[in-house]
Structure 1
């Protein structure tokens, strides 16, 4: 049950995220659908390549494709005022956080159930959770969040570590991990938490 729920949650969240960014870039309806689908299913594609799952599995998720089609269509025809509120109140970050958490856990579970080592579980979580967002940002000609100073993939890796260590062996615990990832992502965005980075001389002198 939790597997199906995570699939639906992640698909809806990332489909919305991709569609909104496409509309912010003023893409037409085809571009909105392409970006929405790339965001919703890109992470799963990267995951399957990583842990040697058949890519054909992606095309066997009929209900998820229908859900994505419906969600993207609804978002496209929402009033502009709703879209502006979405961006203004960081709803985009919220839905992105939900997608990140849901797909990170799903990717970790795939690798864990295939008895892959801990490092593979963590990497599968990171790439499944962040892969769709990276593809979305690249198609939208934006710098991927995973490469920026804002903490992003760290939270997916944290979820993968919890799953890989066998600390979330119950459905309720998996939902708790999802809530934890979403909360950490939102707090990091709100408070500007950053990973260490090396400044160039020009940045140091201008500071």
Structure 2
């Protein structure tokens, strides 16, 4: 049940994120659907490739595909004045997607019996893969490569799971809240990772 809830939260949160960014870039309805679907399922596709889960399992989520389609369509039809709150709400949706998929990716890797290093990679790329693909398709610099603290929270979540500190639904929920909170705090207080330029 926890797995399914995380999957739904992450998928729909990233679908909303992708659809709104597509509209910000003046994409048509097809572009909104493509970017919404790519953002929603990109991270889990990368995860499956990384840890050897059959890639065709993505296509078994029929109801979730329909939910993403309806979500993208709803976002496309929402009046523009409602979308002005995206700068605040969008970060929350993106943080929820990051947390949900990072946790899901880490648990998938643990169940596959891979080493801790692979758990960290699975958590990071499952959490960030959809958003990274979205940003590339939208012609934006991916968040994971910017100085903002973004991927670090997914990696730390994977570390907690890989070391066995997170077991059971309550601990998983607490980790989800922690990742979302840290991501929102890093955005609010403009926390940065060290950066160096040679130009």
Q: TM-score range by the shorter chain?
A: over 0.9
Counterpart pick for 1:101 among 95, 99, 102: 99
TM-score (norm 2): 0.98
TM-score (norm 1): 0.94
Distance 1:130 1:63 in 2: 23
Query: What residue is the counterpart of 1:205 in the other structure?
Result: none
Query: What residue is the counterpart of 1:18 in the other structure?
Result: 18
Query: What residue is the counterpart of 2:174 in the other structure?
Result: 176
Correspondences of 1:117-196 after superposition (within 5 Å): 117-196=115-194
Query: What residue is the counterpart of 1:60 in the other structure?
Result: 60
Shift of 1:114: 1.2
Shift of 1:35: 0.1
Query: What residue is the counterpart of 2:70 in the other structure?
Result: 70
Shift of 1:199: 2.8
Query: What residue is the counterpart of 1:6 in the other structure?
Result: 6
Distance 2:145 2:128 in 1: 11
Query: What residue is the counterpart of 1:27 in the other structure?
Result: 27
Distance 1:108 1:68 in 2: 23
Q: Secondary structure at the match of 1:26?
A: coil
Distance 2:103 2:58 in 1: 17
Distance 1:133 1:20 in 2: 12
Distance 1:51 1:63 in 2: 24
Count the aligned residue pairs. Answer: 199
Higher-Rg member (1/2): 1
Q: Secondary structure at the match of 2:16?
A: helix
Q: Secondary structure at the match of 2:21?
A: helix
Give per-residue Cα distances to partners, 1:1-52, cap 9 Å, x unaligned. 0000001000110000000000000100000000000000000111111101
Distance 2:180 2:195 in 1: 24
Q: Secondary structure at the match of 1:149?
A: coil
- Please, which moves more after superposition, 18-27 or 57-66? 57-66
Shift of 1:63: 1.4
Verify: 1:113 aligned to 2:111, yes or no: yes
> What are structure 2's unaligned runs of at least 5 residues?
none
Shift of 1:197: 1.4
Shift of 1:59: 0.6
> What are structure 1's unaligned runs of at least 5 residues?
203-207
Q: What CA RMSD, in Å, does the superposition of the two structures yield over aligned residues?
A: 0.8
